């Protein structure tokens, strides 16, 4: 997993819970990296799971809720770092459809060793987008936060329904439907 995910996670924890919380979750985790991350480094995803689990235990907030909030936070990071990906699309659905066919292709060019989640998309005649997340990392809640924040960014109202396709969370279907306004 790319280091930017780790550095941004710790930045979010510090912003929302304070530096002492960052220190606590890093200290309480058994991390191969010792909690020292660079944005361009690559780290085992089990480390983010440990950090998230310790944060959840300490704050008594469900890990899924924390991961979804992190997805929303990470969206803003990506928007600042890669504005060209967002400017190239005119609405949330076209942006979400571009993730696998454009954005991840570009990320893979920059970081060939990166293991990225897979997003399969299909748009129905009624304007509904079916988006299937697939990843052995089982971070559908992170994807949900990114999806929700992209909808807010493009200022078009949609409802998002999440359905587990695999009990372990490795496959999740998101149905994104235009809201009646």
Contact residues for 34 (Cβ-Cβ < 8 A; gap 6+)? none
Please give the average per-residue pLDDT across 156-176, as a whole number.
94
Range of the domain at 36: 3-61
Look up the pTM and report it. Answer: 0.91
Residue 181's pLDDT is 56
How many helices (H) and strands (E) are present in the chain, helices listed first?
8, 4
**153 shares a domain with 84:** yes
Task: Tell me: do 16 and 72 sit in the same domain.
Answer: no
Q: Are residues 82 and 31 in the same domain?
A: no
**DSSP label at 103?**
I
DSSP 176: E
User: Any bridge partners for residue 133, and if so which?
Assistant: 119, 172
Domain end residue (candidates: 24, 40, 61): 61
Q: Specify whether 45 is located in the same domain as 83.
A: no
Number of domains in the chain: 2
Q: Is the torsion defined by CA of 132, 92, 143, 109 positive or negative?
A: positive
103 and 123: one domain? yes
Report the pLDDT averaged over residues 74-100.
91
Q: Are residues 56 and 76 in the same domain?
A: no
**Whether residue 85 has pLDDT greater than 90:** no
The answer on 88 and 144 residing in a single domain is yes
Q: Are residues 33 and 92 in the same domain?
A: no
Task: Report the CATH number at residue 169.
Answer: 3.90.1520.10
Q: In the structure encoding, which two tokens stand for residue 5, read together?
A: 């995910």
**Inter-residue contact 130 to 122 (CB < 8 Å):** yes
Q: What three-state secondary structure class fits 121?
A: strand
Q: Which of 155, 157, 160, 166 is nearest to 71 (CA)?
A: 160
Q: How far apart are CA 55 and CA 118, in angstroms?
A: 27
- Asked if 124 and 130 count as a contact pair (C-beta separation under 8 A), the reply is yes
Query: Are residues 38 and 91 located together in one domain of the fold?
Result: no
Q: Are residues 93 and 160 in the same domain?
A: yes
Among the candidates 30, 61, 92, a domain finishes at: 61
Whether residue 31 is found in the same domain as residue 101 = no
| Residue 32 and residue 47 in contact, taking contact as beta carbons nearer than 8 Å | yes
Query: For residue 14, is pLDDT > 90?
Result: yes
Question: Given a cut of 90, is residue 82 above it in pLDDT?
Answer: no
């Amino acid at each position: 997993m790319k280091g930017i995910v780790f550095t941004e996670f710790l930045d979010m924890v510090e912003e929302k819970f304070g530096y002492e919380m960052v220190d606590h979750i890093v200290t309480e985790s058994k991390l191969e990296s010792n909690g020292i991350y660079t944005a361009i480094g690559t780290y085992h995803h089990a480390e983010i799971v440990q950090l998230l689990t310790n944060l959840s235990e300490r704050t008594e907030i469900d890990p899924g809720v924390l991961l979804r909030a992190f997805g929303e936070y990470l969206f803003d990071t990506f928007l600042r770092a890669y504005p060209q990906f967002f400017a190239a699309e005119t609405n949330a659905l076209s942006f979400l459809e571009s993730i696998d066919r454009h954005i991840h292709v570009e990320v893979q060019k920059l970081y060939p060793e990166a293991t990225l989640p897979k997003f399969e998309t299909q748009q129905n005649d009624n304007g509904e987008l079916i988006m299937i997340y697939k990843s052995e990392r089982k971070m559908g809640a992170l994807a949900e936060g990114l999806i929700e924040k992209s909808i807010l960014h493009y200022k078009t109202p949609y409802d998002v329904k999440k359905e587990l396709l695999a009990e372990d969370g490795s496959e999740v279907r998101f149905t994104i439907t235009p809201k009646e306004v």
